[in-house]
Structure 1
Amino acid sequence: MAVLVFKDSRKETLFSELSSLLASGLDFSRSFSLLTEGEEKGRIKEMLKSIHCSVVKGNALWQALEENGGFSPLDRGVVRIGEETGRLSEALVFLAEYYRKRIARRRMISSAVSYPLVVLGTAVIVLVFMILVVVPMFEQVYTRMGGELPAMTRGMIALSRSFPYWLGGVTAVAGGGALFFRYFGKRPEVQSAVSAFLLRLPLVGGLIRQNCEARFCSLLWLLNSSGVPLLRSIGLLEGIISFYPYRKSFTSIAQELGRGTLFSTALSLFPRLYDRKLVMLLRVGEETNRLGDMLSRQGEELSQRLEHGLKQAGNLLEPILVLGVGALVAAVLIAMYLPMFRLGTTIY
């Protein structure tokens, strides 16, 4: 039987409702029963019943979530900490807040890149149609007319003839790349090479870095405010932020913290991942015993900068794509109509 993985929106609702029921004074068994009764979808209802039965048999909630397999390491880790510290309701509030912010950030990114992607997709379809359908129609007309064609027109016709081979080659390369990443994409050397390439891209690299830093600060603040020790919080981040350089850095940071190194000093070992300003401010937070406040402030600031950067990127890409599409379409049309313009001039 396939494992049913909860969507982020469903997790937010589940953790929020369960925390509210527990905060109202109901015991866990009664709260989970009410939660199960209110579920309308059959598969989710059966899964909730399975989790409840596992807890009734004597397992902890985090163990029941682990047996189910549909919850992330963050879900299980935070719930475990909440149960061990007697603050399960607060842990559930943390998870609900985390998924709420994650959904909001995903919507923000989607709204910023959706229009440029639509323009790009439309442009590709239009250009492929013109090169494969329109250009051959003009070629047949000019073949019947005879005469020498302008160099631009001859080049466009040559491109139209060879375009199916180019399209097949691109499709084969894309398919081969997809298969390669499917079978070898999880290897450390592959992830390292891909992430290094992405971080070097002029615009994309900066946005990826800001996104990871914003998530890093926000998650650490939420974990800190829930009473999770810093060393354990770093360990939980390994299962949440999946971008390879950051995930690898968490292991080294945890080792440095275990040796007694300051948190900010451990971060400074990775200058390409963590901004100097962030490291400096977190050092101030450590020295003044206000690390949680500094993480919260930096998380909000980095999120705002990320949102602004995404909007700027979207605003920049829109006119570039529109102008690029217009230029390419104009080049095809000019190449096809140029012989007619010359013919008209000759007749005149």
Structure 2
Amino acid sequence: MKTSGKLNRFTDKKKYLFFSQLHSLLKSGLSFSRSFELLIENGSENESGILQSVYNDIISGNALWTALQKSGNFSDLDCGVIRIGEETGRLDQSLEFLNNYYNKKNEQRRILTGALSYPLIILVVAALVVTFMILVVVPMFEQVYSRMGGELPQITRFIIRLSGSAPAFFTIIAILIILFFTVRHFYGKSEKYRRTSAKILLKLPYLGDLFRMYYQSQFCQLMHLLISSNIPLLRSLQMLEDIICFYPFSVSFGNIAKKIIEGGSFGENLAIYENIYSKKLVALIKVGEETNTLDKMLFQQATDITAELEYKLKQLGNVLEPLLILGIGILVAFILIAMYVPMFKLGQTIH
């Protein structure tokens, strides 16, 4: 995604407010210049600076989508959708789309945060407790047992060996994390990195389906906007190739466009990529093509997939919480039992 470091200054929440307010002001009958001036006047210092820069570019003769792109604070999706609106004379529809898109995105983020916040707290606390036990408690027991002498049970010896190798293990983890971020920084935009990372993400249990559904939802929403704006199918696919940058989807748009030129239908070529497009989606798109209701079918699918995605995000939290508690309880119990088994044996011997 072609964004700069400034993107952090213009968050998704701010984008939602910007597109929502601009859409409302234009719909109320105000001119574009007056609407933008009001947004600049009422924004915070940082926001006003960004919007003033965008406004200056527009006055200089640039299109709105070009000015947004030059500012470095808006994503390829933002600029692409605004470009669609400007080229088709439906800027209000594009602003409404982005307003709804960021409203949904922020809502999904709240759902995900609510679903994962408690499990993450549990996981962090558990990691700290287990680390303390491995690095501090286990060595204390080891010193006691070494003075006592005698043969230790196998489970106790295993935990003691694990405690001894823990510093090296944590060092390796730290090196791997640093290596990952270094590779991502230097090669994150390369085709090989994008292809490999996307392949790994899509193969993750459960999470892979969430990624797939998220980009299917984006595809349906954007394709509906393009088709309903009377943009030809081939042109729509070419524009999506630049807007949706997740590698498998981006590649599929270009390849499908080529195959349509050769004589294939949209739905048939979509079915080739069964790893990223569901059978239900492909079937309904075929129906939409045959009945000339493709835009309505895409809109309905965007709504259905988004609703299902939000449901699965809520379910994720409901499933993770008991699994984490159970797993952590078993791990802590295993360490404690391993450390106290020699004590029990000693007690039996004394008895």
Q: Same fold (TM over 0.5)?
A: yes
| Distance across 2 between alignment mates of 1:269 and 1:14 | 39
| Distance across 2 between alignment mates of 1:189 and 1:54 | 35
- 1:342 correspondence with 2:338: no
- 1:35 correspondence with 2:39: yes
Is the contact made by 1:75 and 1:95 (CA closer than 8 Å) also made in structure 2?
yes
CA separation of 1:22 and 1:322: change in aligned 2, threshold 3 A: same
1:131 to 130, 134, 146: 134
Superposition pairs of residues 1-348 of structure 1, within 5 angstroms: 4-5=6-7, 6-39=10-43, 41-259=44-262, 261-348=264-351
Is the contact made by 1:15 and 1:93 (CA closer than 8 Å) also made in structure 2?
yes
Is the contact made by 1:94 and 1:226 (CA closer than 8 Å) also made in structure 2?
no
How far has the Cα of 1:8 moved from its partner?
A: 1.3
How many residues are aligned here? 346
TM-score, normalisation: structure 2? 0.89
Unpaired runs of at least 5, structure 2: none
CA separation of 1:196 and 1:81: change in aligned 2, threshold 3 A: closer
CA separation of 1:146 and 1:204: change in aligned 2, threshold 3 A: same
| Distance across 2 between alignment mates of 1:54 and 1:288 | 44
| Distance across 2 between alignment mates of 1:324 and 1:200 | 23
TM-score, normalisation: structure 1? 0.90
The farther-off stretch of 149-158 and 258-267 is: 258-267
CA separation of 1:289 and 1:47: change in aligned 2, threshold 3 A: same
CA separation of 1:226 and 1:121: change in aligned 2, threshold 3 A: farther
The farther-off stretch of 234-243 and 164-173 is: 234-243
Report the 3-state secondary structure (helix = DSSP H, G, I; strand = E; otherwise coil) of the residue aligned with 1:141.
helix
Report the 3-state secondary structure (helix = DSSP H, G, I; strand = E; otherwise coil) of the residue aligned with 1:238.
helix
How far has the Cα of 1:192 moved from its partner?
A: 2.0
CA separation of 1:242 and 1:121: change in aligned 2, threshold 3 A: farther
Is the contact made by 1:74 and 1:236 (CA closer than 8 Å) also made in structure 2?
no
How far has the Cα of 1:15 moved from its partner?
A: 1.4
| Distance across 2 between alignment mates of 1:66 and 1:156 | 55
| Distance across 1 between alignment mates of 2:292 and 2:143 | 79
How far has the Cα of 1:76 moved from its partner?
A: 2.4
CA separation of 1:345 and 1:251: change in aligned 2, threshold 3 A: same
Is the contact made by 2:88 and 2:229 (CA closer than 8 Å) also made in structure 1?
no
RMSD: 2.3
Unpaired runs of at least 5, structure 1: none
| Distance across 2 between alignment mates of 1:64 and 1:190 | 30
The farther-off stretch of 267-276 and 204-213 is: 204-213
CA separation of 1:55 and 1:307: change in aligned 2, threshold 3 A: closer
The farther-off stretch of 22-31 and 169-178 is: 169-178
How far has the Cα of 1:223 moved from its partner?
A: 3.7
Q: Deviations over 1:53-77 (max 9, x none)?
A: 2322333322322332322233223
> Residue type matched to 2:181 in 1?
A
| Distance across 2 between alignment mates of 1:164 and 1:278 | 50
| Distance across 1 between alignment mates of 2:92 and 2:80 | 14
| Distance across 2 between alignment mates of 1:192 and 1:337 | 49
How far has the Cα of 1:105 moved from its partner?
A: 2.4
Is the contact made by 2:77 and 2:244 (CA closer than 8 Å) also made in structure 1?
no
